[in-house]
C-alpha cells in the first residue's frame, strides 16, 4: 500500500520528469506544499527526503529545494591535452556540455606506499608517493571522487608535487614537465562498480548501500614505467565514463 508521503513524492517526481519543474527551478516551500497536498509538515518533509535521496532535488541555503539537472555527464578518462581556455579535462567536459563544473583540491600529501599502490606503480612497499585527493563538482555538488598517486622521484619539482591546484589537468602538467611524452605514453583503464562506503555516500550525498561507478587508470611513460595511479568513484546517476575515437584493433 502506498503511503501519503510516497504519493506526494511520486507526484513531485512526475512534475520534475515532465518538465513542469525544470533543472534549476525552486520547488514550492513547505507551507505551499502543505496547502497543495492538504497534509502535515512531517509528511512533506518525508516526501521531500525521498526526492533528495534520489538526487532529484537538493536544498540550497537561502533558496530552497532546487531541481537537479539529471542528465549524465560523459567524460573521457584519458584526456590529456588542455584546451586553449586553460581548463582541465573535467572543467572542459562540463563546459562542452553547457554545465557548471570545477575540480576541488582536497589535499596533497607525501605518503609511503601501501602494497596495492606499490604494485600498480612498480615501487617498493613504503616508497614515497605524492597522493592527491580531489572532488569533481557538477553544479556545485560533488559527483566524483579522485585519489591519485605519483612516484615522488618522478614528479618532485613539478606542479604535481606542489600543494596547489594544477591548472589544465595533471596529465597536461606531466607532459609539460617532460615526465610524459603523449606520443609514447600508454594508459590502462579498468571500469567497475561496487557499493559505496559510508564516507563516499556521505560526500556524494547518496543513500547508504547505493552502487557507485569505479575507474582505475594507470598511466605509463614510453619505457612502460608507471607514472600515475588514479582511482575514481562516481555517482552513477550523474557520470558516464567513455573513451571515444579509438582505432579499431584487429588483435
- Going from N- to C-terminal start, the domains of the chain cover 4-67, 73-242
Evaluate if residue 78 carries a pLDDT over 70: no
Q: What pLDDT is attached to residue 206?
A: 85
Task: Find residue 239's DSSP bridge partners.
Answer: 73
Q: Return the closest-CA partner of residue 241 out of 53, 74, 37.
A: 74
Nearest-5° angle of CA 73, CA 120, CA 225? 100
CA 226 to chain centre: 23
- Provide the CATH topology of domain 4-67: Arc Repressor Mutant, subunit A (1.10.10)
Which stretch, 11-25, 68-82, 104-118, 138-152, has highest mean pLDDT? 104-118
Evaluate if residue 134 carries a pLDDT over 90: yes
Q: What pLDDT is attached to residue 132?
A: 98
Q: What pLDDT is attached to residue 246?
A: 67
pLDDT digits (tens, 9 = 90+) for 39-58: 999 999 999 998 887 778 88
State the DSSP H helix or E strand holding residue 120, giving kind and residue range, or none if neither: helix 115-121
Mean model confidence pLDDT for the chain: 88
Per the CB < 8 A criterion, the answer to whether 77 and 189 are in contact is yes
Half-sphere exposure in the Cβ direction for 198 (13 Å, CA): 0
**What is the rounded CA–CA span in Å between residue 184 and residue 80?**
13
Cite the DSSP H helix spans in 133-195: 152-155, 170-176
Distances from the Cα of 158 to the Cαs of 37, 82, 102, 162, 177, in angstroms?
59, 17, 22, 7, 7
Cite the DSSP H helix spans in the chain: 4-17, 30-37, 41-53, 89-96, 115-121, 152-155, 170-176, 198-204
Q: What pLDDT is attached to residue 33?
A: 95
CATH of domain 73-242: 3.40.1410.10
**What is the rounded CA–CA span in Å between residue 18 and residue 177?**
50
Evaluate if residue 80 carries a pLDDT over 60: no
Half-sphere exposure in the Cβ direction for 230 (13 Å, CA): 24
Q: What pLDDT is attached to residue 163?
A: 93
- Look at 77 and 65; give whichever has higher pLDDT: 65
pLDDT digits (tens, 9 = 90+) for 201-226: 999 988 788 899 999 999 999 999 99
Amino acid at each position: 500500500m502506498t503511503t501519503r508521503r510516497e504519493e506526494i513524492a511520486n507526484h513531485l517526481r512526475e512534475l520534475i520528469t515532465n518538465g513542469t519543474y525544470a533543472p534549476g527551478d525552486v520547488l514550492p516551500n513547505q507551507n505551499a506544499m502543505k496547502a497543495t497536498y492538504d497534509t502535515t509538515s512531517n509528511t512533506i518533509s518525508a516526501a521531500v527526503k525521498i526526492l533528495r535521496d534520489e538526487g532529484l532535488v537538493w536544498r540550497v541555503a537561502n533558496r530552497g529545494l532546487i531541481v537537479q539537472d539529471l542528465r549524465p555527464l560523459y567524460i573521457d578518462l584519458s584526456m590529456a591535452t588542455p584546451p586553449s581556455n586553460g581548463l582541465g579535462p573535467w572543467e572542459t567536459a562540463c563546459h562542452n556540455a553547457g554545465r557548471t563544473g570545477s575540480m576541488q583540491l582536497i589535499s596533497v600529501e607525501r605518503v609511503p606506499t601501501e602494497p596495492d599502490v606499490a604494485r600498480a606503480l612498480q615501487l617498493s612497499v613504503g616508497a614515497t608517493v605524492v597522493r592527491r585527493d580531489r572532488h569533481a563538482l557538477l553544479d556545485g555538488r560533488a559527483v566524483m571522487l579522485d585519489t591519485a598517486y605519483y612516484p615522488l622521484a618522478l614528479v618532485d619539482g613539478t606542479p604535481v608535487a606542489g600543494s596547489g591546484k594544477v591548472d589544465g589537468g595533471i596529465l597536461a602538467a606531466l607532459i609539460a614537465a617532460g615526465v610524459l611524452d603523449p606520443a609514447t605514453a600508454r594508459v590502462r583503464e579498468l571500469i567497475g562498480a561496487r557499493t559505496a562506503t559510508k564516507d563516499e555516500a556521505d560526500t556524494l550525498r547518496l543513500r547508504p548501500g547505493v552502487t557507485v561507478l569505479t575507474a582505475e587508470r594507470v598511466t605509463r611513460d614510453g619505457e612502460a614505467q608507471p607514472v600515475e595511479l588514479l582511482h575514481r568513484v562516481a555517482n552513477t546517476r550523474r557520470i558516464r565514463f567513455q573513451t571515444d575515437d579509438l582505432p579499431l584493433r584487429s588483435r
